[in-house]
Each structure stands twice: as C-alpha cells, then as structure tokens.
Structure 1
Amino acid sequence: MYVCICEAVPDTVIRSCIASGARSVEDIGDACGAGTGCGSCHDHIDVFLAAAHAPSELAGLPVSA
C-alpha cells in the first residue's frame, strides 16, 4: 500500500526507514522522500511512527497471574 502518493513510497519503505532509526516525519522525508510533497501523508506516517515507538499496552501486564 502506498503511504505517500507524491513520491510513490509504500508502507514497506516507511517501515524500513523506521527500523533504520527514523523518529519523525522529517527523518522519513530525508530517508526516502515520503512526506516532502503535498503533506497529506504526514498523518499516516505519524501512525507508523507511533506504532513503532510507543510502548505496548501489554508491556505493563504481569507475566503470570
């Protein structure tokens, strides 16, 4: 699925940029060009960033009952 239509950047490339250390929309733009055109994909890129960098809700649960 394309995340950035202007630069034809699919989600796999966005995920790869994040795995390589991108921590902001600007970092993604520097790495692959996504988000550097019209900007309509910024919210979508933010979702990928949040999912990758936000702690999981499950992390705070006890391991055993």
Structure 2
Amino acid sequence: MYVCICAAVPDTEIRSCIARGARTVEDVGDACGAGTGCGSCHDHIDVFLAAANAPSEIAEMPVSA
C-alpha cells in the first residue's frame, strides 16, 4: 500500500526507514522522500512512527481504515 503518493513510497519503505532510525516525519522524508511533496501523508507517517515507539498499545490497531 502506498503511504506517500507524491513520492510513490509504500508502507514497507516507511517501516524500513523507521527501523533504521527515523523518528520524525522529517527523518522519514530525508530517508526516502515520503512526506516531502504535498504533505497529505504526514498523518499516516505519524501513525507508523507512533506504532514503532509504543508497540504495546498501537501495534494491534488496524493499519488501514
């Protein structure tokens, strides 16, 4: 599933960036370009970041609506 349409970045790449140390939307953008276009994906990237930083509560939530 694409998270960032502008840069054609799928969720797997977002997760990979976070696993490699990205901690903010800006970090993710620097790593793979996601979120550097229109910005409409920032909320989605924030969800991935929150899930990585608080896995006990958020990881079990559905990824898509």
- Is TM-score (shorter-chain normalized) higher than 0.5? yes
**Percent same amino acid among aligned pairs?**
89
Residue in 1 aligned with 2:51? 51
Alignment gaps of 5+ in structure 2: 58-65
**Matches of 2:10 and 2:25 in 1, distance apart?**
15
Offset of residue 56 of structure 1: 1.2
Alignment of 1:9-28 (within 5 A): 9-28=9-28
In the TM superposition, structure 1's runs of 4+ consecutive aligned residues that sit over 3 Å from their partners are none
Aligned length: 57
> Which residue pairs with 2:32 in the alignment?
32
TM-score (norm 2): 0.85
TM-score, normalization by structure 1: 0.85
- Root mean square deviation of aligned Cα: 0.9
Larger Rg: 1
